[in-house]
Amino acid sequence: MARKITHYTSHITHHTPVFAVILVGGKGKRLRPLSTDSRPKAFLPITRDGHTMFRITLDRIKKIIPGENIIVVANKLHASLVRKDFPNMDTSNLLLEPVSRNTAPAITLAASSLKKRFGDAIMVVLASDQYIEGEGLYLDSIKNGVGFVKRNLPALLALGIRPTHPEAGLGYIKIQNPKSKIQNKSKIYKAKSFVEKPNPGMAKRFIDDGNYLWNAGAFIFSAGSLLKAVKKFSPEIFNPLSDPDKIRDVYKRLPDISIDYAVMERAGNIYCMECAYGWKDMGSFDALEEVLKKEGLSYASSGLKYDGVL
User: pLDDT tens-digit profile of 298-308?
Assistant: 776 776 765 44
What is the tens place of the pLDDT at every residue in 19-53? 999 999 766 566 777 777 778 889 988 888 889 99
Q: Is the pTM value of this prediction over 0.85?
A: yes
User: 116-120, 173-177, 223-227 — which is least confidently predicted?
Assistant: 173-177
- Return the amino acid letter for 93: N
Q: Is the pLDDT of residue 4 over 60?
A: no
Average pLDDT score, the chain: 87
Q: How many CB atoms lie within 10 A of CB 130?
A: 20
Q: Cα separation of 170 and 135, whole Å?
A: 22
| 41 and 53 Cβ atoms separated by less than 8 Å | yes
Span 18-158+216-267+278-302 CATH architecture: Alpha-Beta Complex (3.90)
Please choose, from the candidates 134, 176, 128, 175, the residue with its C-alpha nearest in 3D space to the C-alpha of residue 276.
134
Reply yes or no on whether the pLDDT at 291 is more than 90: no
**Residue type for position 63:** K
Please give the Cα distance from 204 to 216 (Å, whole number). Answer: 18
Query: Are 215 and 179 in contact, with CB atoms under 8 Å apart?
Result: no
N-terminal to C-terminal alpha carbon distance within the chain: 48
Domain boundary assignment for the chain = 18-158+216-267+278-302
Q: What is the largest CA-CA distance in the chain?
A: 53
Instruction: Compute φ and ψ for 307, nearest 5 degrees.
Output: -85, -5
Q: What is the pLDDT of residue 220?
A: 98
